[in-house]
Amino acid sequence: MSNEVRWVDLNRKTVIMIILAAAIMVSVFYAWYFRLYGATETLKEDFENGFDEWVANADVSLDPNNPGHLIEWSITHSNDVASSGRYSLKFFIDGRQDDGTIWIEKNSCTKRHSNTS
Ligand SMILES: [Ca+2]
């Protein structure tokens, strides 16, 4: 009888230890996973010193009002309006044709399977 009680106590302790070990392993896995894959990094650009590594680009059509030329557009370093510091980039596109897209782009390294937005 006494041995049966000890055996049940031993099993109970074993089960508790297994559950505790599993909980610790799951916690460590989640901490590792989110540190490796779930970390977010915000890319902030101030444009105080020009374009830095950014490059202006556009997808515009020919201007029907100026044959042989593309729709006028530009992206320039400017001190007209800045949300931070003194400088920003100023985007201009002639929207009379309701066509065209302009943007800036830059190469960057990301981790495998990471999301960008
Ligand atoms: Ca700025």
Please check the confidence at residue 2 and state whether its pLDDT lies above 90: no
Domain ranges, ordered by start, for the chain: 1-41, 55-105
79 neighbors 87 (Cβ within 8 angstroms):
yes
**What is the Cα–Cα distance from 96 to 98, expressed in whole angstroms?**
6
Ligand 1 center to 78 CA (angstroms)? 9
Pairing of strands 101-105, 73-78: unpaired
Q: What is the pTM of this model?
A: 0.61
pLDDT at 6 over 80: no
Residue-wise pLDDT for 7-22, tens only, equals 777 788 899 999 999 9
- 82 alpha carbon to ligand 1 midpoint, in Å? 5
Tell which wins on pLDDT, 3 or 82: 82
What pLDDT was estimated at residue 9? 77
Instruction: Tell me how far the alpha carbon of residue 17 lies from the centroid of ligand 1, in angstroms.
Output: 56
Give the pLDDT confidence score for residue 41 in this predicted structure.
Answer: 73
Mean pLDDT score, 57-73: 94
Please give the average per-residue pLDDT across 38-53, as a whole number: 85
